[in-house]
């Protein structure tokens, strides 16, 4: 049964049905990916129409990726963007700072400010976002990861096409989601992420990945999949929420503009999945979050006494079900299980070549 927190929306015209199925009147465009626009009424009321949820669920299951526009007031987004650009100057001086897949990408993971006046429910527990999470993951999805991906100006290199997960996962429709929220209008020029719609369930995990210790995708799978549905760099408006299945293929792209491209990454997991990862939040926000961030579980939150300097919090990741398989950012580099066993930190040190992304095939008859 769907969550009860959806509004009864009086339709301006009589509903239409085809063979018993409702034909929705939701505003949407595109097909790779599909972009659905939240109405101003939904944004202002905080109540999601059942028709909107129907379209979001349909295309998320089909593509593993769907975009919801007009979901967050722009003034909230602008304020956070300006703060994170300022923070980036300090963050790049940190000894533990790590360029994702090499310095040429200009791409870093940077935790947003974890201060009460920047921890907005409209972003981290957005009511429309949580309603979709509930419908995909079940009741009380668990917040377990808050981070961002910053593409600094002047990047020249792209990332390998990869999946964020490379462990054994349960074969179910969805168990974990990342919500990517761009803090500015974003497209190919300023490094919008390349996405491969439909790849979240297209191939068995052990077949598609080129190495059991990372999520990079084999070249022949890239070339073959592009003939079915090619990769895209969509245009995403500020304040939109991109819902991505954690299994989906994607890749960071260079930002050739003169401004930072900032994309938040907020992960929710199904309760039954028992993800061991936790995210830090200030204890001063505990009562407010547990009272006002409706629909979520804080089982994955580590409450910290006193203020938190987010720039000093090391990157920590574990999307598996095994507590020992965590990834930790250190001054020596990313420490994975092999690094802890051998003392050699080789995670994310491989060089990206054209064998790690799609290259259009040349027509030999031309």
pLDDT digits (tens, 9 = 90+) for 284-302: 999 999 999 999 999 999 9
4-28 burial by CB neighbour count: b if 16+ within 10 A, else e?
eebeebeeeeeeeeeeeeeebeeeb
For residue 8, what pLDDT is reported?
46
Return the residue matching tokens 């580590």. 302
Q: Distance of CA 251 to CAs 30, 211, 294, 298, Å?
A: 20, 17, 32, 30
Model confidence band, residue 362 (pLDDT cutoffs 50, 70, 90) = low
**What's the length of the chain?**
366
Judged on CB neighbours under 10 Å (0-12, 13-18, 19+), 324 is exposed
For residue 56, what pLDDT is reported?
98
d(C-alpha 239, C-alpha 78), whole Å: 9
d(C-alpha 128, C-alpha 147), whole Å: 20
Classify domain 22-356 by CATH architecture: Sandwich (2.60)
The answer, yes or no, to whether residue 125 has pLDDT greater than 90, is yes
Asked if 124 and 143 count as a contact pair (C-beta separation under 8 A), the reply is yes
The answer, yes or no, to whether residue 74 has pLDDT greater than 50, is yes
Where along the chain do its domains lie? 22-356
The fraction of the chain above a pLDDT of 70, given in percent, is 95
For residue 7, what pLDDT is reported?
46
For residue 4, what pLDDT is reported?
42
d(C-alpha 289, C-alpha 281), whole Å: 10
The answer, yes or no, to whether residue 157 has pLDDT greater than 50, is yes
Return the residue matching tokens 């068995």. 204
């Amino acid at each position: 049964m769907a969550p009860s927190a959806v509004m009864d929306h009086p339709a301006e015209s009589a509903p239409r049905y085809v063979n018993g199925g409702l034909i929705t009147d939701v505003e949407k465009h595109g097909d790779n990916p599909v972009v659905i626009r939240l109405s101003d009424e939904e944004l202002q009321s905080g109540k999601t129409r059942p028709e909107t949820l129907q379209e979001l669920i349909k295309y998320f299951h089909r593509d593993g990726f769907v975009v919801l526009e007009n979901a967050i007031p722009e003034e909230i987004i602008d304020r956070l963007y300006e703060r994170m650009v300022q923070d980036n100057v300090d963050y790049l001086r940190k000894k533990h700072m790590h360029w994702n897949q090499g310095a040429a990408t200009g791409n870093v993971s940077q935790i947003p400010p974890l201060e009460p006046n920047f921890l907005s429910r409209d972003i981290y527990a957005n009511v429309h976002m949580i309603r979709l999470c509930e419908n995909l993951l079940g009741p009380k999805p668990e917040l377990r990861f808050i981070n961002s991906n910053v593409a600094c100006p002047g990047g020249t290199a792209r990332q390998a096409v990869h999946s964020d997960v490379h462990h054994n996962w349960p074969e179910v429709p969805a168990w974990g989601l990342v919500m990517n929220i761009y803090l500015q209008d974003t497209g190919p020029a300023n490094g919008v992420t390349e996405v491969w719609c439909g790849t979240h369930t297209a191939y068995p995990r052990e077949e598609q990945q080129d190495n059991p210790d990372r999520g990079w995708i084999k070249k022949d799978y890239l070339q073959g999949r592009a003939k079915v549905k090619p990769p895209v760099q969509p245009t995403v408006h500020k304040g939109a929420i991109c819902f991505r299945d954690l299994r989906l293929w994607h890749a960071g792209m260079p930002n050739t503009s003169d401004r930072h491209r900032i994309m938040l990454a907020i992960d929710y997991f199904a309760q039954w999945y028992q993800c061991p990862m936790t995210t830090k939040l200030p204890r001063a926000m505990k009562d407010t979050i547990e009272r006002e961030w409706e629909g979520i579980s804080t089982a994955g939150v580590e409450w910290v006494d006193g203020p938190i300097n987010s720039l000093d919090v090391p990157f920590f990741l574990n999307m598996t079900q095994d507590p020992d398989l965590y990834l930790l950012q250190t001054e020596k580099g990313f420490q994975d299980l092999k690094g802890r066993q051998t003392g050699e930190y080789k995670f994310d040190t491989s060089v990206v070549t054209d064998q790690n992304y799609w290259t259009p095939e040349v027509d030999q008859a031309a």
